[in-house]
């Protein structure tokens, strides 16, 4: 689970990423549901983008404000176990899991 000024995000076994309103505890957006379980989520430092790491080796970049997918790419042949944005938000580091 991770947070930004646009909300708090979590990933689940169903492959969905949820963006929550921390003030109300309600789900603002339920994103995706594809790509297998979500192992990690991370906001950019400015909170304007959200990345999700999936068990099928893909990473999805989301717009957490309107709940749309910005891009999707295969990061690894194995699961993506973790990810983090650089402080300038120009780079995204990913870590592969093991089989």
Angle, CA of 83, 58 and 90, to the nearest 5°: 45
Across the beta sheet with 50-54, the strand order is 38-43, 50-54, 58-63, 68-74
Task: Tell whether the model's pLDDT for residue 88 goes beyond 60.
Answer: yes
- List the beta bridge partners of residue 2: 9
Q: Which of 2-6, 34-38, 75-79, 93-97 has the lowest mean pLDDT?
A: 2-6
Q: For the whole model, what pTM was predicted?
A: 0.87
Cβ(67)–Cβ(77) below 8 Å = no
Listing DSSP states for 31-44 in one string gives EE--SS-EEEEEE-
36: DSSP letter: S
Give the confidence band of 74 by pLDDT, cuts at 50, 70, 90.
confident
Task: Tell whether the model's pLDDT for residue 65 goes beyond 70.
Answer: yes
Taking only the tens place, the pLDDT of each residue in 16-64 is 999 999 889 999 999 987 667 999 999 999 999 999 999 999 999 999 9
CA 54/CA 74 separation, integer angstroms: 9
């Amino acid at each position: 689970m991770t947070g930004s000024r646009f909300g708090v995000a979590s990933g689940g076994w169903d492959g969905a990423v949820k963006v929550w309103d921390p003030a109300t505890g309600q789900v603002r957006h339920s994103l995706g549901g594809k790509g297998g379980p979500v192992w990690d989520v991370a906001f950019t430092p400015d909170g304007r983008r959200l990345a999700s790491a999936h068990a099928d080796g893909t990473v999805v970049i989301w717009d957490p404000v309107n709940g749309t997918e910005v891009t999707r790419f295969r990061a690894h042949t194995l699961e993506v176990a973790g990810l983090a944005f650089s402080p300038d938000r120009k780079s995204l580091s990913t870590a592969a899991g093991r089989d």
